[in-house]
Structure 1
Amino acid sequence: MVKSLSSALAVLVGLSAVPALAQDTPTLTIYTYDGFAAEWGPGPQLSAAFEPICNCTLNWVAADSSIGTLRRVQLEGDTTDADLIVGLDTAIAGEARATGLFADHGLSLEGLTLPEAWTDSQFVPFDYSHFAFMYDTDKTATPPRSFEELIALPDDVKIVVQDPRSATPGFGLVLWIKAAYGDRAGEIWEGLKPHILTVTRDWSESYALFLDGEADMVLSYTTSPAYHIIDEGDDTIKAALFEEGHYPQIEVAGILKSSDQQELAQQFLAWFASPEGQKIIPTTNWMFPVVDLGAELDPAFAGLPQPQKTLTLSDEEIQANSSAWIDEMLAAVQ
């Protein structure tokens, strides 16, 4: 009843051209991962840019990972407070879709610049990069050019990776090796085992170990060097490009069917996928935008070497086999 009365008042106020009352300002609750909502992440800047447009409030609710946001919504079901999830990726989009909790976005999404054509009717992409191992040119003059070259290095060459059960990069590495090597994936994992310093719960922990000099390489993204170039003036951190190709991470956002802010959520996603929203992404989330920003994209991004080959797996393959592939990885490295 209260919600209906508020809606009626909002209509009357709008018709009379009187400024809306503060209590009538709608709130869009967005579940995301902690780095996205952090003061240095995209969330605050997106709020500052979009709230004056929509005359609304963006309420960012952070979990420890994007996988954590999906698990929370799965537990809450139709009672969730979330209107949107921002920060899933294509590796877990199939699982998210299978929950039946997400609505169609209803957007045309023309003119996107992605490693693959976009046809998803439920999830809207907002950034992308490829998984890659970072190395420091001051320590590693000649990086490996494949997983097999990495395996062949002396055992004291150490890498840090993330747990695929809690971190999307960790799961991305499982998919990368499976897409590149198929039935040989277990063999590759066994070869990597002597080089793995540790498997961390999240990306930030592993990257810190790398920056502290505890490991020679760390699983991250081909766009990660842009952060060091732009924010630190340091061009010694590079991505090792592998001849077998690289697996992409495309991050996506989706509207919950249970949301009572369907139109506002759609408005936000349309804006987020536009150049106005996308220009915030590169230097806050350190990923490529999904539209061509032209001169508004920092030149540091344009100069980053990128893979010659993008590897892919279908949603169906991932859903049917992800548990077994993760088990294969854990059995090999533990």
Structure 2
Amino acid sequence: MKHTIIAAGMSIFAGAAMAENSVLHVYTYDSFVADWGPGPQIKAAFEESCGCDLQFVSAGDGAALLSRLKLEGSRSEADVVLGLDTNLMTAARDTGLFATHDIFVEGLTLPIAWDDAEFLPFDWGYFAFVHNADLPNPPQSFEELGASDLRILIQDPRSSTPGLGLVYWIEAAYGDGAAQIWQDLADNIVTVTPGWSEAYGLFLEGEADMVLSYTTSPAYHLIAEEDPSKSAAAFDEGHYMQIEIAGITAASDQPDLARAFMTFMLSPEFQSVIPTTNWMYPAALPASALPDGFETLIAPEKVLHFSGDEAAALRDAAIDRWQTALSR
């Protein structure tokens, strides 16, 4: 069965008509289902289309989703897992716990081409260190950051997709020099949190000068709070790109409904919610559809990115370099 995303914005919810009183379980990360996140709006819109009960199940940060799914295996209640990223894609595929989505996709607006049988993207962005706009002389590289007295907050790469993204960012920018960068950064790090929400909350409470987040994070403060006081530091070595993905579990007892949700995920109804709730770039909307305020964000001149297979090959050694530096 093929479910089609049409570039002009129409979506076909094949199988949704049979979903009356059915329950769809979607595992995702904590901030997605927060009151201010996209979850509540997505739930209402999809339930109106499918006549079903959409239940989001939060499982910490993105990397924790995969750990939970591995632990539960084929016994998992998850029908869809939403919130992994391309850095975890090969590891997720290798579990054998995901099914092919059988969805033909057109109209994606990612910076790179996409063709994957098991996973579909729903948003993307660039990692960055966010700081107060009045911070004097913000660093313009990891080397400048490591040489400074600035206090930073980061996330654990074993449980957090931003934390893992930072590890890959440094690997992509410095290669064999990554271990030295981590050694230089070690005394800048105030704490390492399990996930993004904890780190960003501590930053807003004034516990550090900078926090690992996204180039799009200042848009939240500007648009939602009418507060222009946050900025993202532009690094000369470039910024690492994250693409967030979703997949259908092989053990799902609602495969048609799961595919209907994946189809809906790339529809305008879902995608238009992303910029001002998840504060990322939507995967299937043009830049012209972004809200006012996004044009003020920094645009990296150099984009860093590993394929899923490259990320999987680097993961253990990269995390080991991180752990070694921080344990000294």
TM-score if structure 1 supplies the norm length? 0.89
| Structure 2 letter corresponding to 1:134 | V
Confirm whether residue 118 of structure 1 aligns to residue 114 of structure 2. yes
**Aligned residue for 1:300?**
293
Please list every run of 5 or more consecutive structure 1 residues that lacks an aligned counterpart in the other structure: 1-18
- 2:293 alignment partner, SS class: helix
Greater C-alpha radius of gyration = 1
Match of 1:134 in 2: 130
- Structure 1 counterpart of 2:142: 147
CA contact (8 A) 1:115 1:310 kept: no
8 A contact 2:146–2:185 mirrored in 1: yes
**What is the percentage of aligned positions where both structures have the same residue?**
53
Measured in 2, the distance between the counterparts of 1:79 and 1:176 equals: 35
Task: Provide the C-alpha distance between the structure 2 equivalents of 1:40 and 1:208, rounded to a whole number of angstroms.
Answer: 14
Instruction: Give the Å deviation of 1:64.
Output: 1.4
Unaligned runs of 5+ in 2: 1-16
CA RMSD of aligned residues (A): 1.7
Structure in which a larger fraction of residues adopt helix = 1
Q: Aligned with 2:174: secondary structure?
A: helix
Amino acid in the other structure paired with 2:172: A
Q: Does 1:211 align with 2:207?
A: no
Equivalent residue for 2:185, pick from 188, 192, 195: 192
Structure 1 residue 254 and structure 2 residue 247: aligned?
A: yes
* Higher RCO (CA < 8 A, seq sep 6+): 2
2:274 to 267, 272, 281: 281
Q: Which amino acid aligns with 2:124?
A: Y
- Secondary structure at 1:181 match in 2: helix
> How far 1:192 sits from its partner (Å)?
0.9
Partner residue in 2 for 1:160: 153
Dislocated runs of 4+, deviation >3 Å: 293-296
Alignment of 1:18-29 (within 5 A): 24-29=20-25
Distance in 2 (CA, whole Å) between partners of 1:102 and 1:50 is 22
Rounded to whole Å, the distance in 1 between the matches of 2:286 and 2:42 is 17
Which of residues 23, 31, 39 is equivalent to 2:35? 39
State the number of aligned residues.
311
Q: What is residue 225 of structure 1 aligned with on the other side?
A: 218
Tell me the SS of whatever aligns to 1:215: coil
CA contact 1:107–1:270 (8 Å) conserved in 2: yes
Q: How far is the alpha carbon of 1:296 from its aligned partner?
A: 4.4
CA deviation vs aligned residue, 1:155-183 (integer Å, no higher than 9, x gap): 3x211111111111111100000011101
Q: Of 169, 184, 197, which residue of structure 2 is paired with 1:176?
A: 169
1:312 corresponds in structure 2 to: 305
The answer on whether the counterparts of 1:279 and 1:293 sit within 8 Å (CA) in structure 2 is no
Structure 2 CA distance for partners of 1:294 and 1:144, relative to 1, 3 Å: closer
CA distance in 1, matches of 2:281, 2:243: 10
